[in-house]
Amino acid sequence: MSEPISIPTAQPPGAWRRLTRNRVAVAAMIILAGIAFVAIFGPSIFPYSPEKVTPHSLHPPSWLPRDAAHVKMDIERGGAVGRWQHPFGTDMNGRDVFSRVIQGARVSLIVGLCGALVSFFIGTTYGLIAGYVGGRTDNVMMRFIEMLHSVPRLIIVIVAIFTFAPWLEGFLHRAMPSVEGYAKIMILILCLGLIEWLAMARIVRGQVLALKEQQFVLAARALGQSHMRILLRHLLPNLIGVIVVYLTLTIPAVILDESFLSFLGLGINDPQASWGSLLSDGKNVINPIHSYWWLLLFPAAAMSLTLVALNFLGDALRDALDPRARR
């Protein structure tokens, strides 16, 4: 009697393979890697400091053709400008816009990433506790989130900035004077992280409500494992996919909020630069006679490209980590 032949079944592709098969996701990762590389290593490669003032104020991109009158004006100001000397032009103080866009990328990406991490820690902890404990505790905690949702979030940020800024600046001046210049960045990270955790908490709480009735959690309880162990060893690992996806989508939201606050003059201040503060500087010098378009175009293009890439990557991660795609 012949032995039965087992036919190997094809395993469904893993999350990473599904992600890399998505051409839009791959393009988004390449764009983000390029922006991160320029933000990290650009200042050491490009010769101009983003805060260096030169006589060539409001100079258009140097690769554009220049007539004899403008060349003569450049020479009178302090020397002719090379074809690739200021590829993004200069601002009203003669500072190189390309260097300032790079500095803006560093500041905006740091604020976006760190603010998203702050929202991750607060939202995940809050959602885990609310979903796991349940009952009246869950009710009270969710009503608190709904109360915060009813207030416009930028109003909360503005109030938090004016509340915490003097205290944090004074603390850094006394305790860590070497990082006092970064006080505004730290304030933005904390304040933006304190408003972006609300949606994270609701998502985590909903997942925990479904997971805590699963057999593996009931078995852990029957074995006498502590609540902390169940939360950290059994529930949290099953939330990683959802958390990673939402974290990717939170970063562009924080970057956009920071840019809006800097545009209003409540965020990063001169001589530091973020994409929002660069857009604000460009807006201040635009008039009906001279547009100075490069002061708005290049920071807006860099920010838009980053936000679009992050949103596409977040959508692709959500699809790749979807449990239904494994079947």
Q: What is the pLDDT of residues 122-156, one digit of tens each?
A: 999 999 999 999 889 999 999 999 998 888 888 88
Could you tell me if residue 63 is inside a domain? no
Contact 92, 271 (CB under 8 A): no
Query: CB of 197 within 8 A of CB of 119?
Result: yes
pLDDT range class, residue 33, cuts 50, 70, 90: very high
Position 252: which residue type? P
What are the start-end ranges of the H helices in 134-152? Answer: 135-149
* Amino acid found at 244: V
> Residue 320: which pLDDT band, with cuts at 50, 70 and 90?
confident
Per the prediction, the chain carries an average pLDDT of 82
Report which residue type is found at 89.
G
pLDDT, greater one: 119 or 163: 119
Q: Which residues, listed in sequence order, are joined to residue 96 by a DSSP beta bridge?
A: 90
Is 60 within a domain?
no
Residue 5: inside a domain, yes or no? no
Dihedral angle computed from the Cα positions of residues 249, 255, 261 and 264, in that order, rounded to the nearest 10 degrees = -120
| pLDDT digit string, tens, across residues 180-197 | 677 788 888 888 888 889
The total number of structural domains in the chain stands at 1
Determine the average pLDDT of the residues in 162-167.
81
- C-alpha distances in angstroms, 27 versus 13, 20, 311? 20, 10, 12
Residue 8 has pLDDT above 50, yes or no: no
In a domain, 240, yes or no: yes
Cite the beta strand spans of the chain per DSSP E: none
The phi and psi torsions of 96 (rounded to 5 degrees) equal -70, 120
Average pLDDT over residues 49-64: 80
Which tokens hold the place of 264? 């209003």
Question: Can you state the angle between helices 240-263 and 153-175, rounded to 10 degrees?
Answer: 80
pLDDT of residue 42: 80
Question: 308: domain range?
Answer: 15-45+95-326
Inside any domain, residue 86: no
Question: Which band of pLDDT confidence, cut at 50, 70 and 90, is reported for residue 163?
Answer: confident
What CATH number corresponds to the domain at position 283? 1.10.3720.10
Residue 74 banded pLDDT, cuts 50, 70, 90: low
Q: Is residue 209 a part of any domain in this protein?
A: yes
pTM of the model: 0.83
The answer, yes or no, to whether residue 11 has pLDDT greater than 50, is no
Q: Average of pLDDT values for 151-171?
A: 82
Between CA 101 and CA 78 the distance in angstroms is 24
Q: Assess if residue 6 is contained within a domain.
A: no
| pLDDT reported for residue 72 | 59
Q: Give a yes or no: residue 62 inside a domain.
A: no
Predicted pLDDT of residue 15: 74
Q: What is the pLDDT of residue 81?
A: 54
Q: Is 298 exposed, middle or buried (0-12, 13-18, 19+ CB in 10 A)?
A: buried
> How is residue 138 written in tokens?
């869950």
